Amino acid sequence: MVEAIRKRASVRRYANEPVAEEDLQAILEAALSAPTANNVRPWHIVVVTDEDKRKRLAQVHQWASFCAASPVVLAFCADATRQPHWWVEDTCAALENALIQAAELGLGTCWIGIRAGEGDGGPGPEREDFVREVLSIPGHVRVLALVSLGHPEGEPTPKPAGPMDAIHRETW
Ligand SMILES: Cc1cc2nc3c(=O)[nH]c(=O)nc-3n(C[C@H](O)[C@H](O)[C@H](O)COP(=O)(O)O)c2cc1C
């Protein structure tokens, strides 16, 4: 898994090859094994393979276009009524587990943020509502992000860890 953390890189070009069900299952189980505040486990994950839906999700903003050509898109959500304080942290932890498990299986992923202020600082709530509408997600469920998933076309190039001056020992 440590190797998988190092080799994970955002993948935005996918081969035309489906993701095996057992790999998908392993990725989803890794997500649902994440730490979660007070053990509330507020997560919901929508697995999308339908081409029309992926094409629509690809329109959520200008940095999501590759969803149209990734065999799977995962929508990482949480029931915020069950966990109003920590649903973001809980869902990020689940999502990151999924990325690492996918990398370990030789699959490629890309985190696609859709919340307020991300990317161009554009309207977040509209993006969340857009994903809710496409996937019939109930109104009380928050959508954190989408993740594209598939076999990478070409070899992903991981970035080196850093910046190392982000590390402060004992004091800042
Ligand atoms: C919160 C968050 C939102 C992101 N949103 C997008 C996105 O909308 N589209 C995209 O192509 N990449 C997105 N990324 C991926 C980042 O661009 C990528 O992680 C970063 O450039 C570092 O590259 P690496 O993942 O290959 O290490 C996002 C990553 C995070 C953590």
State whether the beta carbon of 112 lies less than 6 angstroms from ligand 1.
Answer: yes
State whether the beta carbon of 57 lies less than 6 angstroms from ligand 1.
Answer: no
Give the per-residue pLDDT at 65: 97
- Select from 14, 92, 111 the residue to mutate for testing ligand 1; criterion: most ligand atoms less than 8 Å from CB: 111
Give the per-residue pLDDT at 123: 61
Q: What is the CA(170)–ligand 1 centre distance, in A? A: 30
Buried b (16+ CB within 10 A) or exposed e, 146-163: bbbbbbbeeebeeeeeee
State whether the beta carbon of 86 lies less than 6 angstroms from ligand 1.
Answer: no
Domain ranges of the chain: 2-8+19-151
Give the per-residue pLDDT at 151: 98
Positive or negative, the Cα torsion across 22, 107, 33, 5? positive
Residue with CA nearest ligand 1 atom 18: 10
What mean pLDDT do residues 139-161 have?
Answer: 96
Distance of CA 88 to the CA centre of its chain: 12
DSSP H or E segment with residue 91: helix 87-104
Residue 120, pLDDT > 60, answer no
State whether the beta carbon of 124 lies less than 6 angstroms from ligand 1.
Answer: no
Give the per-residue pLDDT at 125: 81
State whether the beta carbon of 152 lies less than 6 angstroms from ligand 1.
Answer: no
Is the model more confident about 150 or about 118? 150
Q: pTM for this one? A: 0.96
CATH tag, 2-8+19-151: 3.40.109.10
Secondary structure class of 23 (helix, strand, coil): helix
As a whole number of angstroms, the distance between CA 22 and CA 93 comes to: 21
Give the per-residue pLDDT at 115: 83
Q: What is the CA(40)–ligand 1 centre distance, in A? A: 27
